[in-house]
Structure 1
Amino acid sequence: MKNVICALLVALVCTVNNSQAQDCLGMTFKTGMNFELSHFNAKEKPIGKVLYQVKDVHKEGSSTVMDITAQFEDEKGKQRPPYIIHYTCTGDELVADMAGMMQAMQNGGMKDMELKLKTNKLVYPGKLSVGQKLSDGQMEAEMSSGGGGPMANMSMTMANRQVESKEPITTPAGTFDTYKITSDVNFENKVMGIPIRNTMRIVTYRTEKQLFDVKSESYNKNGKLMGYSLLTKTN
């Protein structure tokens, strides 16, 4: 479960024809685009990958919305059920829907739980610059079982998000000029009113010309590397 969470972190109507490409923030989005993010543990051993495919691109008012299927595949090639994530490009910023993390957790061992999202938002500005501070990312969910009352609450906050530097990153997908973004991720699960807390440090390397992070690293509260992901394929 810890590897799945890290992988996903590291993971938000007027409809036009699906085959029509949409341009936003200098990127072109169209149905059928594919991306692959490969995940590794701290010892650089592959632990799986997530395969993304753009299933629908449409306009909602002045914004461009992308519906993307994501499917986790472990190092042995075994796939988990796919789930849908959404990105909204407003022209000024890219908003990621973090509901996919909850869907993946449900597929990975919480199938009997009903999940209700209360807060769900992660924003990237259209233009990044060194020293820039980014708004917090937040997700809050309520979990219940069998149609009864709430059994647990889960919240996640990505705080202290800041652009630290600019540097080139090379992956199997190519070489990219990226911005290094750091953030503190705080988890809190309340089960029967008893809080369980955890923290980690996330370092991502992002370019303004790609939908997904080029590289993402996860560190525990003591600063020890837990794992990382790389953008390994893109069309």
Structure 2
Amino acid sequence: MKTPLLATVLSFMICSFSFAQGSCSKFYPLEEGSSFEYTNYNKKGKVEGTVNYTVSEVRQEGSASVATFAMKYKDKKGEDVFETDYSFSCENGIVTIDYESLFPSQMMQQYTEMGLEMDISGTDIQLPNDLSVGQQLPDANVVVSMSMGGINMTTSVDQTNRKVEKKEKVTTPAGTFECYLLTEDQLTKTMGANIETKSQLWLAEGIGMVKQESYKKNGTLISRMELTQYSK
């Protein structure tokens, strides 16, 4: 099983949750054709890859708004690594995500052909309309359980101590934005290992995620992802 790819997908899943929650319009413009490019950098500031999100469809199903996103990930050489479509629905400020759709169809097909069974579950991140400095936000988690030939493996990511730290302006190659800074602790459990990290996320109204930084427990920078271009 390609666990490095699985870890990559999970990391983007967390990012996706971070900008797609709460109101269906306040922190992210649900307009068909809107596109966002994020560049991922390692701790030395070197490009590791890019991820592109495009809003491919927005529709109403009763009182719920349902959006479909096309996601493409390229490595540092600009070569395609994977692409997938995923969706979420929003009703009365509550978001439901199709967890399984976040995994690339090619990877899911490969795993199925290998006889692997996969179950994905979790607790959606909640991001209220009205953020305020000092506000505590609910915990969240995602769990991926896989089984093949009597071998079981579970990978989980718990997001705790989520808090709105402050408001500040952030500049990226895409521009300068007035953002809320959200911080949280993350605990990843996989293959008997517990990995504790901390995350800082900058959100701008009408844009969504502008920048994200991940740190080791001791404060050492692991990686940075930031908005490099967008259109809506």
Give the structure-1-normalised TM-score: 0.80
**Does residue 134 of structure 1 match 2:156?**
no
Correspondence for 2:186: 185
Correspondence for 2:155: 154
CA contact (8 A) 2:187 2:196 kept: yes
Correspondence for 1:17: none
5+ residue gaps, structure 1, are 13-22
Report the AA paired with residue 172 of structure 2: T
Report the AA paired with residue 141 of structure 1: V
Aligned ranges for residues 1-80 of structure 1 at < 5 Å?
Answer: 1=4, 4=8, 8=12, 9-11=14-16, 24-25=25-26, 28-80=29-81
Quickly say closer, same or farther: Cα 1:216–1:134, change in 2 above 3 A.
Answer: same
CA contact (8 A) 1:94 1:125 kept: no
Matches of 1:98 and 1:199 in 2, distance apart?
23
Matches of 2:131 and 2:95 in 1, distance apart?
12
Counterpart secondary structure, 1:124? coil
CA contact (8 A) 2:35 2:54 kept: yes
Comparing 215-224 and 136-145, the one that deviates more: 136-145
| Deviation (angstroms), 1:142 | 1.4
Correspondence for 1:222: 218
| Larger proportion of helix | 2
CA contact (8 A) 1:67 1:86 kept: yes
**Does residue 199 of structure 1 match 2:199?**
no
Correspondence for 2:119: 116
| Deviation (angstroms), 1:120 | 4.5
**Does residue 92 of structure 1 match 2:93?**
yes
Counterpart secondary structure, 2:82? coil
Quickly say closer, same or farther: Cα 1:198–1:162, change in 2 above 3 A.
Answer: same
Q: Which digits, 9 at most, give the CA deviation of each residue in 1:25-65, with x for residues without a partner?
A: 37542222111011101111111100111111112332212
Correspondence for 1:20: none
Identity of aligned residues (%): 29
CA contact (8 A) 1:140 1:155 kept: yes
Comparing 87-96 and 64-73, the one that deviates more: 87-96
Matches of 1:93 and 1:209 in 2, distance apart?
18
CA RMSD in angstroms comes to 2.8
Matches of 2:127 and 2:97 in 1, distance apart?
8
| Deviation (angstroms), 1:133 | 0.9
| Deviation (angstroms), 1:223 | 1.2
Matches of 1:199 and 1:97 in 2, distance apart?
26
Report the AA paired with residue 218 of structure 1: S
